[in-house]
Amino acid sequence: MEMPLTQHISFNRPPLNLNDYAHVGGYQGVHRAIKAMTPQEVMTVVQESDLKGRGGAGFNTGTKWSFVPMNDAKQTKYLIANADEMEPGAFKDRLLLEGNPHQLIEGMIVSAYAIQANTAYIFLRWAYKKAARLLRQAIDEAYAAGYLGNNILSSGFNLEMHLHTGVGRYICGEETALLNALEGKRATPRTKPPFPQVSGLFGKPTIVNNVETLSNIPHIINKGADWFKDLSPGADAGTKLYGISGKVNKPGIWELPMHTTIRQLIEEHAGGMKDGFKFRGVLPGGASTDFLIEEHLDVKMDYKSVAAAGSRLGTGTMIILDDHTCPVGFVHNLEHFFAQESCGWCTPCREGLPWTEKILLSIENGQGRMEDLELLEMHTKYMGPGSTFCALAPGAMEPLQSSLKYFKADFEKHINEKKCPWR
Amino acid sequence: MLTAEEIRKIDHEIALVPVRKAACIEALKIVQEHRGWISDESLLAIAAHIEMSAEELDSVATFYNLIFRKPVGRNIILLCDSISCYVMGYEQIYDHLKARLNIKFGETTPDARFTLLPNACLGACDHAPTLMINHDLYKDLTINELDEILKTYK
């Protein structure tokens, strides 16, 4: 089984430096793309590989790139690696950032070449201190080796790369909010259209891609679109980084083919539930995805299958709800996070999220009323897709609406018994 | 007043961006690194140097979780209170910290040694519960080791 993204990652040693990375085939993607391919050819092969955005949205990466206007060669354009991983329960990009920073940098050089961007940023969340140190070192090495800077590999292509570390706020992961943060503004999302591909950072065409997405690029360039598709036995191409946190024996992160089932991940890779704990549900792709329950354990973790089961693949990092954890307390914790991280720009999100948080807290504390459940249902509609400025509140409503569906009896028990049965 | 050192670092950031104001977050980070927090006086000095209004800069400064507009202690404890750490029992860690330091979230010890803050997901969910003190991440926390960890921060 091939594991292109993690094959050179080991935590028994520091990540590969540039020479060692080159020794195992690193930067061949840059050589191949810049010396033997046109930007259009790079874009086409990525589009044909069907690499979908690994940040959660799942849009075809090559198609996203193709929206960048390419007619004016002198036009300033930007490429940005979204390394703001802040979704609760998500920790996959950290592995790639700390484990093989040169792979990301190589992916960014090739991607910048494809859209002919001459400036690239890595937008890194502040908490990833180790990643920041390793990335700075790797960027310096790439400059020294001539993979960054002017006239890369004597091709006439120039690329400057900067590391930007954030100062906190979940909303910075939203691509247009990220652009505002990079411009030194409050990180509120922007209206779309215009899309960033046309008018992004400082009003220039900009591509924002997730770290895992970009780290796949060198391998696709080296081995081709068909190879990438063949990594997976089903319709979604490639491998995926899957993670599990919660009361399992071995929480962790694994690179596996798309289509691995939830049951395989929990039982084979995470070693099953800890002794004395039973599985009750799972958020399959981070805090902003709908619960799945026992009947969904054989669902394959790919974009289509998870959607068909009523949730989203999201980041592919799963959070397990066990039978010793109160579902109401669990969802209250999530809504507390979303309420706190709302940027405050649009009313449904700014007002609605704290409202749901307060209702959930009162139910958890034994002061809830049955009509509160209808009120919560109402909020899941008012903050659903299309009612808010960006995807934060609709994402926040996903675990809430599915908890009301699957764990309604637990909510009712809190209300009837006037206390949390778990406390 | 900004120091010569602060101005040198801020000007370096200004040179990297096409619009002067775009360096304002970096400027806040630089001054906070030197002074621990952003006082009104610091804010006014940065705004003047960046050539933006103090009101606009304050709207940026107060938006981000890790720009401190109030004094903080010498060491900042950021305890993750997000979902994986909730499942794995961050509340017990919090109770222990409250008892040891005699402060709640948002407070600073009277000797200014520690400020205790809640923090959204630290991205180490497979090693929950977690906390960060200054630049150091602690994973798979148990109450037993907390006192030893705290001792190393003066």
> Using CB atoms within 10 A of its CB, is residue B114 exposed (0-12), middle (13-18) or buried (19+)?
buried
Which pLDDT score, from 0 to 100, does residue B133 have? 97
pLDDT tens column, A133-176: 999 999 999 999 999 999 999 999 999 999 999 999 999 999 99
d(CA A299, CA A292): 9
pLDDT tens column, A50-94: 999 999 888 999 999 999 999 988 899 999 999 999 999 999 999
Is A354 in CB contact (< 8 Å) with chain B? no
Is B137 in CB contact (< 8 Å) with chain A? yes
Rg from Cα positions in chain B: 18
Looking at chain B, the whole-number percentage of residues with pLDDT higher than 70 is 100
Mean pLDDT of A246-267: 97
| DSSP, residue by residue, A287-338 | TTS--B-GGGTT-BSSHHHHHHTTS--TTSEEEEEETTS-HHHHHHHHHHHH
Does B19 sit within 8 Å of A183, measured CB to CB?
Answer: yes
Residues 6-35 of B with CB under 8 A from A: 16-19, 21-26, 28-29
Residue among A13, A51, A41 at smallest CA distance from A219: A51
Best residue of B10, B32, B87 to probe chain A, by most A CBs closer than 10 Å: B87
Are the C-beta atoms of residues A233 and A226 closer than 8 Å to each other?
Answer: no
| DSSP, residue by residue, B18-73 | SSGGGGHHHHHHHHHHHHSS--HHHHHHHHHHHTS-HHHHHHHHTTSTTS-SS---
List CB contacts (< 8 A) between A245 and chain B.
84, 87-88, 125-126, 128
- Annotated binding-site residue? B24: no
Mean pLDDT of A87-116: 97
Which pLDDT score, from 0 to 100, does residue A57 have? 84
Are the C-beta atoms of residues A308 and A300 closer than 8 Å to each other?
Answer: no
Three-state SS for A130?
helix
Is the pLDDT score of A361 beyond 90? yes
Strands (E), B98-152: 107-108, 114-119, 131-133, 136-138
- Annotated binding-site residue? B85: yes
Q: Token pair of A16, please? A: 């590969």
Does B125 sit within 8 Å of A91, measured CB to CB?
Answer: yes
Which pLDDT score, from 0 to 100, does residue A275 have? 98
d(CA B64, CA A340): 11
Does A252 sit within 8 Å of B137, measured CB to CB?
Answer: no
Question: Is the pTM value of this prediction over 0.95?
Answer: yes
List CB contacts (< 8 A) between B66 and chain A.
126, 167-168
Best residue of B82, B91, B95, B117 to probe chain A, by most A CBs closer than 10 Å: B82
d(CA B61, CA A342): 16
Best residue of B52, B83, B122 to probe chain A, by most A CBs closer than 10 Å: B83
- Annotated binding-site residue? B121: yes
Sign of the dihedral through C-alpha A23, A207, B119, B153: positive
d(CA A333, CA A396): 11
pLDDT tens column, B56-83: 999 999 999 999 999 999 999 999 999 9
Strand partners, A159: A149
Is the pLDDT score of B149 beyond 90? yes
Q: Token pair of A18, please? A: 């540039």
d(CA A344, CA A323): 35
Which pLDDT score, from 0 to 100, does residue A334 have? 98
Strands (E), A237-289: 239-245, 252-257, 279-283
Instruction: For residue B152, give the DSSP letter.
Output: T
Point out the residue among A166, A168, A253 whose CB comes nearest to the CB of B126. Answer: A253
Residue among B79, B80, B67 at smallest CA distance from B37: B67
List CB contacts (< 8 A) between B16 and chain A.
162
Does B122 sit within 8 Å of A184, measured CB to CB?
Answer: no
Does B123 sit within 8 Å of A85, measured CB to CB?
Answer: yes
d(CA A120, CA A188): 22
Which pLDDT score, from 0 to 100, does residue A135 have? 98
Looking at chain A, the whole-number percentage of residues with pLDDT higher than 90 is 96
pLDDT tens column, A212-226: 999 999 999 999 999
Does A341 sit within 8 Å of B63, measured CB to CB?
Answer: no
Strand partners, A248: A273
Three-state SS for A156?
coil
End-to-end CA distance of chain A: 45
Q: Token pair of A98, please? A: 């700390």
pLDDT tens column, B4-54: 999 999 999 999 999 999 999 999 999 999 999 999 999 999 999 999 999
Which pLDDT score, from 0 to 100, does residue A73 have? 84
Question: In sequence order, which ranges of A342-407 are alpha helices (DSSP H)?
Answer: 347-364, 370-382, 392-406
Does B84 sit within 8 Å of A246, measured CB to CB?
Answer: yes
d(CA A293, CA A323): 12
Q: Token pair of A374, please? A: 């209808």
The tokens 């046109």 sit on which residue? A38
Does B25 sit within 8 Å of A181, measured CB to CB?
Answer: yes
Is the pLDDT score of A234 beyond 90? no
Looking at the complex, report in whole angstroms how far the Cα of residue A311 sits from the nearest Cα belonging to chain B. Answer: 18
Are the C-beta atoms of residues A259 and A231 closer than 8 Å to each other?
Answer: no
pLDDT tens column, B77-109: 999 999 999 999 999 999 999 999 999 999 999
Per-residue pLDDT band at A235 (split at 50, 70, 90): confident
Which pLDDT score, from 0 to 100, does residue A1 have? 82
In order of A54, A134, A160, A210, the CA distances from A163 in angstroms are 20, 11, 10, 15
The tokens 């690499």 sit on which residue? A51
d(CA A154, CA A32): 13
Is the pLDDT score of A317 beyond 90? yes
A279-283: strand order across its sheet: A252-257, A239-245, A317-322, A279-283
Is A94 in CB contact (< 8 Å) with chain B? yes
d(CA A114, CA B146): 50
Rg from Cα positions in chain A: 22
